[in-house]
């Protein structure tokens, strides 16, 4: 999916001031730089666990505690994580404490192995062994990426944009699979398996195939594998590559990113601030985890989906429109810094304006066009109405139609298909079918309207877009005026009215400041690439 496809017809609809656009980007970079610095200076338990996962450590103990958790905890308990988990672990392996990672983890859990921080010449063999293991691991991700490229080459991409994105959310991977396959057959280009409530706050990744999620299914390596295999089958049946999405979000963001790379997921929800604002996860933890996970995504050829839509579920979509733009600019900066390319930036935004607001649809068009023109080469992810969806499913079906129309008129890249039951239940099989019918009608009957849609340069839409961009620049300036920039503004409620101080929130105890000799071959390999 190349940017040109989405933008050819909508590229010059708004007369945006190029100077203002440049200024907005420069400000985002200025805001983001200290955060990157912060992220470089820390590691987290999840980054270290992700490293072990990349090195091939899988499985869990009898209570379901993953071996990566047991091993990292053991190392942390004995020698700390300031130098990273790899040095002590491969040192132990080199020393012959166990023949492989899995055995080592088991012994460590049993307390039958001692770790140390190898120094001087002792360190070199450990370092080399770790590097080899991780080269292998990263190699597996590279292989999966090539595999995807080959499949896309063979089966082909959807013929048109926006790509059609549908969710399944039964909580049971074995109900999810047939529903996902049915959705793909009816026209979905992308399937997202929604995650069980609460998983984002688990500081470990559950194991195995699962059937007991609430309003979503646990993200596990086995569930990833099962669903990807099923969709590969369906892709062949349909002669088009059906993509799979999950969440690299929450306390285990880096690990899930690694699993996504290993199981050839194609897109991942991954936002720079969602966990902070909506899950009260510690800001530092989030930024560190986020940078590593994005490096993995960059390497794996995964498209990220950012979460700007979420702002508009709690804040007003008109008043807070500029916070979406601001977040998009920041997400873009962080993503590019982590090595992601434009085509991997599924920047989020949403159709969430109160439908009772006069001209709501045209306001949506203004916002959507603004995003389109600010990020001409990114496959924007356009999210449907949720907040103003009620139990009136007929009205819901209507709102979704206008959402679809806005998607077509403004050249969005990824269309998350809205469900008429949004205000009621997680999607039913029939909801998806009806929703796809809605998309098809709007696209085929009215999609060509892009030819006729020419907002005047001094008209309502152009003026609104200009206003939002202006407010976004002001917001970035306001953030810069804080002593500690972004961290302070997150603390004082600038975003979504939520106050999240840098020393508060969940998972702070999993953050570790790196010592001078910190080593992480995975990070080095990914950084080199970035």
Partner 1 sequence: MSALMRPYGDTTGDGMVQLSFTLPMPHGKKAEGAAQQLARKMGIEPAMVVHAKPIGPSFTFFVVYGSVSHLVDLDEVKVVEREYPLLSPKETNLAIRTLLRRRMVVVGACIGTDAHTVGIDAILNIKGFAGEKGLEYYREIKVVNLGAQVSVPDLLAAARAEQADAVLVSQVVTQREAHLRNTRELATAFRQEWAEGEGPVLVVGGPRFDEAMAGELGVDRVFAKGTTPADVASYLVHALAARRGVDPTAPAPAAEELQEEPA
Ligand X SMILES: Cc1ncc(COP(=O)(O)O)c(C=O)c1O
Q: Which residues are known catalytic residues?
A: 274, 309, 381
Q: Which is nearer to partner 1, 434 or 450 (CB)?
A: 434
Size of the site for ligand B12 (CB under 6 A): 20
HEC string of 144-200 equals HHHHHHHHHHHHCCCCCCCEEEEEECCCCHHHHHHHHHHHHHCCCCEEEECCCCCHH
Q: Which is nearer to ligand X, 199 or 217 (CB)?
A: 199
Angle at the Cα of 235 from the Cα atoms of 230 and 240, rounded to 5 degrees: 160
Segment interacting with a second copy, rule: CB under 8 A, options 34-42, 216-224, 431-439, 501-509: 431-439
Closest CB 81 distance from ligand B12, rounded Å: 29
Q: Which two tokens stand for residue 22?
A: 């440049």
Residues 194-213 that bind partner 1 (CB under 8 A): 196-198, 201
Q: Which two tokens stand for residue 44?
A: 């987290």
Q: With contact defined as beta carbons under 8 Å apart, do 190 and 414 qualify?
A: yes
Q: With contact defined as beta carbons under 8 Å apart, do 318 and 357 qualify?
A: yes
DSSP readout, 356-414? TSTTHHHHHHHHHHHHHHHSTTS-PEEEPP-TT--S-HHHHHHHHHHHHHHHHHTT-SE
Give dist(CA 444, CA 494) in Å, integer.
Answer: 41
Site string for a second copy, 313-332 (x = CB under 8 A): --------------------
Residues 381-400 that bind partner 1 (CB under 8 A): 390-393
- Binding to ligand B12 by residue 215, rule CB under 6 A? yes
Interface ranges with ligand X (CB under 6 A): 195, 197, 199-200, 247, 249-250, 269, 271, 274, 279, 307, 310
HEC string of 283-297 equals HHHHHHHHHHHHHHH
Site string for partner 1, 412-451 (x = CB under 8 A): ---------x-xxxxxxxx--xx-----------------
Residues 136-175 that bind partner 1 (CB under 8 A): 169-172, 175
> Based on the number of CB atoms within 10 Å of its own CB, is 73 exposed (0-12), middle (13-18) or buried (19 or more)?
middle
Q: In this chain, which of 108, 141, 194, 469 binds ligand B12, going by CB under 6 A?
A: 194
- Binding to a second copy by residue 452, rule CB under 8 A? yes
Q: In this chain, which of 204, 278, 287, 403 binds ligand B12, going by CB under 6 A?
A: 278
Sign of the Cα torsion 356, 359, 365, 371 reads negative
Q: With contact defined as beta carbons under 8 Å apart, do 340 and 293 qualify?
A: no
430: Cα within 13 Å, side-chain hemisphere: 3
274 makes contact, choosing from ligand X, partner 1, ligand B12, none, with CB < 5 to 8 Å by partner type, with: ligand X
Q: Which is nearer to ligand X, 161 or 245 (CB)?
A: 245
71 makes contact, choosing from ligand X, partner 1, a second copy, none, with CB < 5 to 8 Å by partner type, with: none
Residues of this chain that bind ligand B12 (CB under 6 A)? 169, 194-195, 197-198, 215-216, 278, 310, 313-314, 386-387, 389, 421-426
The site for partner 1 (CB under 8 A) is made up of: 169-172, 175, 179, 181-182, 185-186, 196-198, 201, 214-215, 278-280, 313-314, 390-393, 421, 423-430, 433-434
């Amino acid at each position: 999916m190349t940017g040109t496809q989405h933008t050819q017809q909508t590229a010059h609809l708004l007369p945006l001031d190029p100077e203002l656009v440049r200024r907005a980007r420069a400000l985002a970079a200025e805001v983001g730089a200290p955060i990157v610095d912060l992220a470089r200076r820390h590691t987290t338990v999840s980054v270290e666990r992700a490293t072990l996962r990349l090195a091939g450590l899988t499985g869990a103990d009898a209570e379901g505690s993953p071996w990566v958790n047991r091993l990292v905890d053991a190392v942390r308990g004995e020698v700390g994580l300031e130098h990273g988990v790899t040095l002590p672990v491969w040192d132990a392996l080199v020393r012959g404490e166990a023949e492989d990672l899995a055995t080592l983890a088991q012994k460590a859990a049993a307390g039958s192995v001692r770790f140390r921080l190898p120094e001087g010449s002792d360190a070199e063999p450990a370092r080399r062994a770790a590097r080899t293991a991780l080269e292998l691991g990263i190699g597996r991700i590279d292989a999966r990426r090539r595999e995807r490229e080959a499949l896309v080459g063979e089966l082909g991409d959807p013929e048109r944009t926006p790509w059609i994105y549908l969710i399944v959310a039964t909580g049971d991977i074995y109900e999810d699979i047939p529903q996902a396959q049915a959705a793909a057959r009816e026209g979905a280009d992308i399937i997202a398996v929604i995650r069980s409530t609460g998983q984002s706050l688990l500081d470990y990744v559950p194991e195995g195939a699962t059937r007991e999620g609430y309003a979503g299914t646990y993200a596990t390596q086995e569930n990833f594998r099962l669903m990807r295999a099923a969709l590969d089958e369906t892709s062949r049946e349909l002669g088009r590559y059906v993509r799979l999405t999950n969440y690299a979000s929450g306390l285990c963001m880096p690990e899930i990113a690694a699993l996504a790379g290993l199981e050839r997921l194609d897109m991942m929800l991954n936002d720079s601030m969602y966990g902070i604002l909506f899950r009260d996860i510690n800001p530092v933890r989030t930024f560190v985890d986020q940078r590593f996970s994005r490096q993995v995504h960059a390497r794996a050829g995964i498209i990220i989906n950012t979460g700007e839509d979420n702002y508009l579920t709690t804040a007003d979509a008109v008043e807070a429109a500029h916070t979406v733009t601001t977040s998009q600019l920041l997400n873009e900066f962080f993503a590019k810094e982590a090595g992601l390319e434009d085509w991997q930036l599924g920047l989020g935004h949403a159709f969430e304006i109160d439908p009772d607001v006069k001209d709501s649809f045209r306001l949506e068009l203004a916002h959507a066009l603004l995003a389109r023109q600010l990020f001409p080469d990114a496959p924007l992810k356009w999210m449907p109405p949720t907040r103003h969806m009620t139990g009136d499913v007929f009205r819901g079906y209507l709102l979704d139609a206008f959402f679809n129309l806005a998607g077509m008129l403004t050249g969005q890249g990824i269309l998350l298909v809205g469900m008429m039951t949004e205000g009621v239940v997680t999607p039913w099989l029939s909801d998806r079918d009806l929703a796809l019918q809605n998309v098809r009608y709007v696209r085929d009957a009215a999609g060509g309207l892009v030819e006729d849609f020419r907002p005047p340069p001094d008209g309502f839409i152009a003026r609104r877009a200009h206003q939002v961009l202006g407010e976004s620049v002001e917001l970035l300036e306001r953030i810069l005026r804080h002593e500690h920039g972004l961290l302070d503004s997150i603390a004082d409620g600038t975003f979504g009215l939520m106050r999240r101080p840098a020393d508060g929130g969940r998972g702070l105890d999993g953050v570790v400041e790196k010592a001078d000799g910190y080593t992480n071959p995975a990070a080095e390999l990914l950084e080199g690439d970035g």
